[in-house]
Amino acid sequence: MNKPYPIIGLEVHVQLKTKTKAFCRCENKYGGIPNSRVCPVCMGMPGMLPVLNESVLNDAIVAGLAFGSQIASITKFDRKNYSYPDLPKGYQISQYDKPICSGGFIEIEDDNGTLKHINITRIHIEEDAGKLIHLEDGTNNSYVDYNRCGAPLLETVSEPDIRSSDEAVKYLKSLKEIFEYIEISDCNMEEGSLRCDANISMMIPLSDGTEINTPISEVKNINSFSNVKKAIEYEIIRQVEEYHKTKEVNNGKNKITRGFDDSKGITVFQRSKEGESDYRYFPEPDLPHLEITEELINKSKLRLPELPQNKRNRLENQYGITQYDATTLSADKKLSDYFEKCCKYTTNYKKVANFILTDICSILNTENISIIDFSVSAEDIAQLVNLLSDGTISSWIAKSVFEKMRLTNKNPLSIVEEESLLQLNNDDELDTIVIKVLSENQKSVEDYKNGKDNALKYLMGQVMKQSKGKANPVKTTEMLIERLK
Ligand SMILES: [Zn+2]
């Protein structure tokens, strides 16, 4: 009998980085003094009229094009009604039956490494709600900040095509990459500009060869990739156990909403899910239907950059770097742009890729910064790689030159010249050091002769030490072996 498997669909909210909010002129920005970025429109005062921000519409069309969606010829807005303290209007402006984009897909590798499409049902425009702040100062007071009210969101709804927690994470990473490439959102999960709801149910095979589907859980507002993975894995186990206890199956009406408890790594029951009828969707009377012209779509096509998948293939072919390096570089648009800038000043493409992905990325990770905040220019990195490749400096020296470049902003060649760090290639000078090291380390010489290969590494280290890191490592090894014969 087959094993139970999950059926997963994701709903992802991405906050757009437009200058102003979706339907008013308030500044659209994260944080700030609570309730300092509000106006009668986004506060839902009686008689106020929303006006659609043109940039929001344009961004939504670009997103649709990037995912291969159909752009609607007519689109409209609807009110989604519910009552919650962070929603002063008592309804959210969203899109119900005529979303701006339908269809499209994201390509991922499934768990067996085969390419697979995760289909997109729709992408629609909606506005964000405010934020509740619960003080933990013993007073139990709660406050509400409406700065985020009316911020523009795009909600991307996938078909239930995802079959594992790993596939879900790959889908999310890919989606985030594409949103970053088209530069319409920061996709900053910590600041909530990318949030994910996961709809999960299980297919459980029965002994008679049929299978049943468990009730769907919608796990709301998961704020990191690792939590998406944890929430799904928790639900997979919970739902199978629950089925064996209750025998309850999905009847189309028994969907529930759960939250993810980050500290315990579990999902917790919140409420039985509202059906669409609970939201009493109706057309937003204050916003007109919109006709999307071919002309507008063609204009948006001009904004489409090279997308991640295409860039990955191009980097691999154009620069002859490995598929792995091309994938890692292109996962961050700005990092791959930096790589290509370096390549203007060198033909050592593989070495540049390697230097960026190891030495530079390790600094970016430690300092928690992006490549755009990295102080060394692409031209200087290319020069350093060239000095290393043509044997002017050793890899040992390259590391210390790189550190000095970061501290002083000088270019590598001037650092090498000022501190006379040129690689030592002169046979006579090298030989003198080798002879000295061998005579001072008789024990290691014996060890080497008795077959201990580590002794050679030790002797090599001693030569490096005496030459202050300047000895040419290839030559030194050859000379050591020759002398040890
Ligand atoms: Zn406003």
Centroid of ligand 1 to alpha carbon of 384 (angstroms): 51
Centroid of ligand 1 to alpha carbon of 183 (angstroms): 23
Centroid of ligand 1 to alpha carbon of 20 (angstroms): 8
> Are 331 and 175 in contact, with CB atoms under 8 Å apart?
no
Q: What is the pLDDT along the chain (485 residues), one digit of tens a residue?
A: 589 999 999 999 999 999 999 999 999 999 899 999 999 999 989 999 999 999 999 999 999 999 999 999 999 999 999 999 999 999 999 999 999 999 999 999 998 989 999 999 999 999 999 999 988 888 889 999 999 999 999 999 999 999 999 999 999 999 999 999 999 999 988 888 999 999 999 999 999 999 999 999 999 989 899 999 999 999 999 999 999 999 999 998 889 999 999 899 899 998 876 666 778 899 999 999 999 999 999 999 999 999 999 999 999 999 999 999 999 999 999 999 999 999 999 999 999 999 999 999 999 999 999 999 999 999 999 999 998 888 788 888 888 899 999 998 888 988 888 877 677 777 888 888 888 888 898 888 888 888 888 888 898 888 888 887 778 888 888 888 888 88
Centroid of ligand 1 to alpha carbon of 17 (angstroms): 15
Centroid of ligand 1 to alpha carbon of 331 (angstroms): 35
Centroid of ligand 1 to alpha carbon of 39 (angstroms): 4
Centroid of ligand 1 to alpha carbon of 102 (angstroms): 29
- Please name which of 119, 76, 68 lies closest in space to residue 94, comparing C-alpha atoms: 76
Centroid of ligand 1 to alpha carbon of 38 (angstroms): 4
Centroid of ligand 1 to alpha carbon of 65 (angstroms): 29
Centroid of ligand 1 to alpha carbon of 61 (angstroms): 23
Distances (CA, A) of 179 to 19, 125, 369: 17, 15, 20
Looking at the domain 427-484, which fold is it? Arc Repressor Mutant, subunit A (1.10.10)
Q: Domain boundaries in the chain? A: 5-300, 308-418, 427-484
One-letter amino acid for residue 113 of the chain: G
Centroid of ligand 1 to alpha carbon of 281 (angstroms): 23
Centroid of ligand 1 to alpha carbon of 51 (angstroms): 11
Neighbours of ion ligand 1 (CB under 5 A): 24, 26, 39, 41-42
Centroid of ligand 1 to alpha carbon of 141 (angstroms): 26
- Please name which of 228, 112, 217 lies closest in space to residue 176, comparing C-alpha atoms: 228
Centroid of ligand 1 to alpha carbon of 148 (angstroms): 9
Give the 3-state secondary structure of residue 45. coil
Centroid of ligand 1 to alpha carbon of 44 (angstroms): 9
The 3 state secondary structure assigned to 51-96 is CCCHHHHHHHHHHHHHCCCEECCEECCEEEECCCCCCCCCEEEECC
> Are 326 and 312 in contact, with CB atoms under 8 Å apart?
yes
Please state whether 16 falls in left (phi above 0), alpha (psi between -120 and 50) or beta.
beta
End-to-end CA distance of the chain: 66
Radius of gyration of the chain (CA): 30
Centroid of ligand 1 to alpha carbon of 134 (angstroms): 24
Would you list the DSSP string of 226-290?
A: HHHHHHHHHHHHHHHHHHHHH-----SS--EEEEEETTTTEEEEEEEPPPGGGGT-EE-TTS--E
